[in-house]
Every structure is written in structure tokens, then in C-alpha cells.
Amino acid sequence: MTTGAVNDGQTAHRNSPEANIREPREPEGTPPWLTESHPSPVEASSKVTARKRMRMLAVVCAIGLLGGLAVGVCFLVKFLMKPVVTQSPTELEDTKEMSLCNVSDDFAITDPRKVFYRISSVNSLLEIQREEWKTWLPVCFERWNASLGTSICKQLGHLRLSKHKGVNLTDIGPNYTAGFVQITSEHRNQLENIWRFRGSCITGKVIALKCFECGTRSKLPRIIGGTEATLGRWPWQVALHHSSKHMCGGSIITSQWIVTAAHCVHSYRVLQVSSWLVYAGIVTRSSGILAERSGNLVEKIIYNKQYNHRSHDNDIALVKLKSPLNFTDTIRPVCLPRYNQDFSGGTRCWISGWGYTTPDDVHIPDTLKEAAIPLISTKKCNSSCMYEGEITPRMLCAGYPEGKVDACQGDSGGPLVCQDENIWRLVGVVSWGTGCAEPNHPGVYTKVAEFLDWIYQTIENY
């Protein structure tokens, strides 16, 4: 409320009718203190009664004072019997602050899925497990179609189906004796609800499946004890340049699509798309290296329409290249998370980028940097000692409570990846944070698992 509003209120109060009512004065004539008066018998009786009341009131007050004194003595004795703590007021405040920050991570995460999918690394068979089944079961060829294969590949974090076929049971050996899974006729039901247990397959065939390959990298040596990444270690990492200037990082998810942050691109209009270049398969940004490698032209930039530039909620965008990338040992796509996949707090993940190496530095390093950081549960990150409720369900946090390791300016849009069995998944996109590597202010990332439908639909529509 402004000062002017307060003054207006006071003026209105003074001008109210109640303010003009005057209290009555004493009657005119002889002043009362000069007037001689004699008490009547009734008045004398009243005075005696008043004296009794005063004595009783004095007794009650005395009892009250004695009781209060006794209580005070008890508290004093208890205080003197407490152990002496030699701690300064500053130390007490630090202890209070630490107790507020002592929020444990939520390690027990219940999986909401009822059906689990996997592709056997031995024979590429699609295998399914339901809650009530104790083992993985192969899928009968009956009623199978390619659209189901695509849906399952997306459930597994792959963009599309590569190939599928029926395999004779006689060719896979006697290992599958616990039964099979078959698709029911209710194809319009949810993917979880169309599977039924069968003792045998009528056609004598089961499904072998191969999804779009992602999340793998060639086995290249790493700099021991260093923070510089070797070529091919993070083959999905790209650099986004606008008008020959490094702007942000990004992650390859298909040969033509890059995931980045909405705040990197949302202010640029369609007419400026030609000013963007994407560099893939590099770790060094020196002018000589970039001159040797021509950047990839951009065809479309699509950011999430729900993006809020103030809170950075829904901070995700897709960049479509004019020409597809040629995948090599140093240029490969990363896998997306599985549907409903949630990594627990404490999971060790990795970030990479060309961002500032110190918060007060304005120099973008030439060589790609990498760092391992743990995920932080949303409960802990939203606590009063960190971001006090600013973390939405579409965000996640990663870093150390003491700071020291973090993404910074220039890393925006880049990947936060976590290893899931043998593949790497794009769990987060570098989004925002308070400062860089400050204690109790970890990096905040866009939670990719919340945008899978948006990603798939956007790629299909464009």
C-alpha cells in the first residue's frame, strides 16, 4: 500500500460524522472542588462495602503474586540445571539454517507402469512383463502391426521403429517355456491393456523388434582427472550459433531434429532462421575448426507454446535441420526417457557444454567441458534452503548442495544425460539457476520426460 493511500484514509476518517461529535463539558457555575458536600447514610454504607471489596481484592492479588513467584522459581531452577552450551548467536543461526536444509532425497519412487517392455539383447525378441507375472514373456505374431511396434519403441525412448518380423519358435530354442503374450482385439485400448497371457502362439511365431538406435557412443579414451571431453564422448552434443556467435547447446535426437531450450530461441522470428547454424561432431570451437566444418543450416525452430519467460516453465524447443546429419562415431543421437521414467535423487548423471567455466567469466571456452553431477529430488530442491517452491513438475534439479560444479551461461539448451542400463537418455535440458555453482542453488533443468508427447507430435507434424 502506498503512502498516498494511507494519507487519504486518515483524511476520510477525520471528516467522518463521528469526528465532529463533541464530548459534554462540566456545568457552568462554581467549580466542584470548591463545593462543600456531606455524605448521606446510604453513601456511608456504600463506602464500608467498598472497603471490604478492596481487602478481598488485596488478598487475591497477594495469593496471585505468591503463585507467580513460585512458578518463576521453578523455571529458574530448571534453567540453571540445563547443561551449559558454549555457542555464539551466529553459530546458533547457522545451526538453524542447516536444519532447514536437511531434507532427504526421495529414493523410493513407485513406478506407475503396469506393463514393462524390453528388447532382448540376445535375439532382439520383444518381451513384456506385467505386474502379476514373475518373468518376461515373448509376444505372439498374431494381430501384430507396425503401428504397435512404433508405440512400443516410443515407450522405450526411441523415436521410431526400424524393423520388425515374425520369428519361428523353433529358431529361438527352448528357453521360453513360461508362456506368451498376445494382443487382444481391443486395439483402441491403452497400450498397457491390450496384452493377454497365452500358453502358446497359434502361428508358432513371435515378434523380433528393432527400434531407432540411440544413446550409444564409441569406446574412446577419456582424459583422466580432466574436465575436457574427448571427441565422440558425447556424440549428441551440438553447438547452436546465431550470426556466427555461440548461443546455446543442444542434443541430437534424430538425424534432422535437435532438442534445446526455449529461452535460447523463442525471441527469434521465422525470418531469422537462416541466421542459425548447428555444429555437430565437434569438441573444439576454435575459428580454424569451425571454418573447416560447415555448419548445418536450420529449417524450422519450434518452441513449446506454454513456455513462460519469467519462470522458465516449459523451457524446451526443437530445431529442425534442412539436411539430415550423417551418423558416425562422433555424431549420434541420444535416447529420450521412457514414458513415466523417473530417476531418483542421487542418481549420477552428466552435463556437457561450452559455457562459462567461472561465474564471473565472460569468455566462452573453446573446448567442450563435462562434469558428473547427482540429481536432486524435487522435494529437496523446493525446500526453503534452495528454491522455495519455484520448481514446477516440468523441471528437475541436479548438482551439489555445496555448489562448485554446475552448468553456467553458454551451456543453456545442452544435455543432462543419465545412463540407463547400456544406453544414455536425455533426462534434462539446461534451463536456469541462481548464479552458477552457488551453495544451495543447483542447476535447474527442463524435465524431458514431461514433453515426450509434444516431441513426438511435433516431429510427426513437421
Task: Identify the pLDDT of residue 325.
Answer: 96
Measure CA of the first residue to CA of the last residue in the chain; give whole Å: 51
Task: Identify the pLDDT of residue 361.
Answer: 60
State the average pLDDT for the chain: 78
Write down the CATH superfamily of domain 237-461: Trypsin-like serine proteases (2.40.10.10)
Classify residue 245 as exposed, middle or buried by CB count within 10 Å of its CB (0-12, 13-18, 19+). exposed
Of 251, 352, 377, 412, which one is the catalytic site residue? 412
Identify whether 16 is a catalytic site residue. no
Task: Identify the pLDDT of residue 96.
Answer: 36
Q: With contact defined as beta carbons under 8 Å apart, do 350 and 371 qualify? A: yes
The Cα–Cα gap between 119 and 439 comes to 42
- Distance from chain centroid for Cα 108: 17
pLDDT, mean of residues 437-451 = 95
The Cα–Cα gap between 424 and 122 comes to 20
Of 313, 315, 342, 411, which one is the catalytic site residue? 315
Q: Give residue-wise pLDDT tens across range 297-354.
A: 999 999 999 999 999 999 999 999 999 999 999 999 999 999 888 899 999 999 999 8
233: confidence class by pLDDT, cuts 50, 70, 90: very high
163: confidence class by pLDDT, cuts 50, 70, 90: very high
Q: Give residue-wise pLDDT tens across range 426-438.
A: 999 999 998 888 9
Neighbours of 406 (CB within 10 A): 23
pLDDT, mean of residues 44-53 = 50
Taking the CA atoms of the chain, what radius of gyration do you get in angstroms? 37
Of 158, 241, 263, 441, which one is the catalytic site residue? 263
Identify whether 263 is a catalytic site residue. yes
- Distance from chain centroid for Cα 111: 18
- Residue whose C-alpha cell is 498376445: 182
10: confidence class by pLDDT, cuts 50, 70, 90: very low
Query: How do the domains of the chain map onto residue ranges?
Result: 115-211, 237-461
Task: Identify the pLDDT of residue 359.
Answer: 62
Identify whether 453 is a catalytic site residue. no
Task: Identify the pLDDT of residue 408.
Answer: 83
244: confidence class by pLDDT, cuts 50, 70, 90: confident
CATH no., domain 115-211:
3.10.250.10
Q: For 40-44, 87-91, 313-317, which range has the lowest pLDDT when averaged over its residues?
A: 87-91
